[in-house]
Amino acid sequence: MKSSAIQVTVSRIASLTPVIKEFTLTPIGLTTGTPTGTTLPGFSPGSHIQIELPTPTRTLKNAYSLLSDPADLSCYRIAVRLQEGSRGGSRYLHEAVKEGDTLHITPPANLFAPSSMAQHHILIAGGIGITPFMAYRAEMQRQGISHELHYAYTGGLTHAYVEPLLQVASGLVSTYDSTRGERLDIEQILSGQPLGAQVYICGPERLLQAVQQTAHALGWSEGRVHWEAFAAPEPGQPFHVYLAKQDKTLAVSADESLLEALEAARIEHPNLCRGGVCGQCAAPYLSGQVEHRDSYLPPSDQSHLLMPCVSRGACDSTLVLDL
C-alpha cells in the first residue's frame, strides 16, 4: 500500500454467526480501552477502509465498511461474511488472521455518507449490509436525527446485529427473518414518506435493484436514493492489456481484475471502492473490446473510459490503455 497506509493490530475477533466474524482493529501498540492518547483517523458514518490481504496466491485489497461508533477512534470495527465463491479475501480473514496479527489499512474514505439535506433517513439493510448502518445509528442517535432502520436477514446465518439493535429504543428498528417467512415490503416502507425523506440501501444486488425500482415507480427522484455494494470483481476470461505510455504489456488472469494486475506490476492507480461505483479509477483506453461491468460510467463515456477495478477486455484481443 502507499505511504499513507496505517498499521493496525487485530485486537479482537468475534464469531457472530457461522459465516460472520467481527474484527476489532487498533493502532499498533494500543490495547482497546487503554487511555494512551493514540487514536485512528476520524471518520463519518458510511465510511470504509481497504485492507491489504496477502493471500497465498496474490495480495488483495478489499474494502469493508466501518461499523464502529465514529466518536470512538481508539479502534475500528468491521464485520466480514465468509463468501462461498471467495477469491480468498474473506476466507483469508476468517481462517488465517488471528488476534495479535498486524494488518495494513488505508485511511477511511466515504462514498455513502448520509445526506445533510434529508429530514428523515430510511435505512434498508440486507444481511452483512447492516454494517454501515451501525455507524449511522450511533451518530444519528447521538444527534437526535430522525431515522428508521429495516434489517432483513436469514436467522442463524446473517443475523449478526439483531439483538444489539433491538436493545436500543431510539429510532424505529424493524427486522425481517426470512426463515420465519417475514418479508420486507419495500412499497409499504416507501409509500407515504415525506418529501424530505431519503432512503439508503446496503445489501445484495437484488435488494438494491428492488428498492431502486420501487422508489422510481413511486416517483422518488434519483437524488433521494442512495446505495452501497462492495463486491469482489467477478472472474472472466484472461486477457492482455498494453500500456501505451509505458510500452508495457500485462497479462490479466481469469480471477484477477485489471486494477490488481496494474498493482502487481507496481503501477499505482487511484481507486476507492474497487467495485465499479465511485469513478475514482476511471482510465482512458485507445482500442480493444471492453466488457463494462461498472455502475458509474454513462454510455457516452464507455467509448473511451473504463473502470479497471471491474471492467475486462476480450480474451481474443489486446486492450490498449492510455496509461
Q: Quick one: which H or E segment has residue 11?
A: strand 6-15
pLDDT at 33 over 50: no
Matching residue, cell 487498533: 26
Mean pLDDT of the 261-278 span: 91
SS (H, E, C) 76-134: EEEEEECCCCCCCHHHHHHHCCCCCCEEEECCCEECCCCCCCCCEEEEEEEHHHHHHHH
pLDDT at 31 over 70: no
Query: Looking at residue 240, what is its pLDDT?
Result: 95
Least confident of 62-76, 186-200, 305-319: 305-319
**Residue 139 CB neighbour total at 10 angstroms:** 17
What number of CA atoms fall less than 13 Å from residue 29's CA on the CB side?
A: 5
Query: Looking at residue 230, what is its pLDDT?
Result: 63
pLDDT at 29 over 60: no
pLDDT at 101 over 70: yes
Q: Are 117 and 91 in contact (CB under 8 A)?
A: no
Query: Looking at residue 167, what is its pLDDT?
Result: 85
| Each residue's pLDDT tens digit, 183-211 | 999 999 999 999 999 999 999 989 999 99
Instruction: Name the band, by pLDDT with cuts 50, 70 and 90, for residue 30.
Output: low
Measured at the alpha carbon of residue 79, what is the angle toward residues 77 and 83, in degrees to the nearest 5?
A: 155
Q: Quick one: which H or E segment has residue 207?
A: helix 205-217
Matching residue, cell 493514540: 38
Task: Name the DSSP class of 267.
Answer: -
Long-range contacts of 259-264 (CB under 8 A, 24+ apart): 259/233, 259/308, 259/309, 260/58, 260/60, 260/61, 260/233, 262/308, 262/323, 263/59, 263/61, 264/58, 264/59
Mean pLDDT of the 279-286 span: 95
pLDDT at 295 over 90: no
**Residue 309 CB neighbour total at 10 angstroms:** 30
Record the pTM. 0.89
pLDDT at 77 over 90: yes
Residue type, 125: A
Query: Looking at residue 35, what is its pLDDT?
Result: 46
Burial environment of residue 113 by CB neighbours within 10 A (0 to 12, 13 to 18, 19 or more): middle
- Nearest in space to 184 (alpha carbons), one of 224, 126, 136: 126
Instruction: Name the band, by pLDDT with cuts 50, 70 and 90, for residue 34.
Output: very low
Residues in CB range of 79: below 8 A, 6 or more apart? 16, 20, 21, 22, 23, 64, 67, 128, 131, 160, 161
The Cα-based distances of 245 to 266, 267, 286, 302 in angstroms read 15, 12, 11, 21
Query: Looking at residue 231, what is its pLDDT?
Result: 67
Q: Are 214 and 190 in contact (CB under 8 A)?
A: yes
pLDDT at 297 over 80: yes
Query: Looking at residue 32, what is its pLDDT?
Result: 44
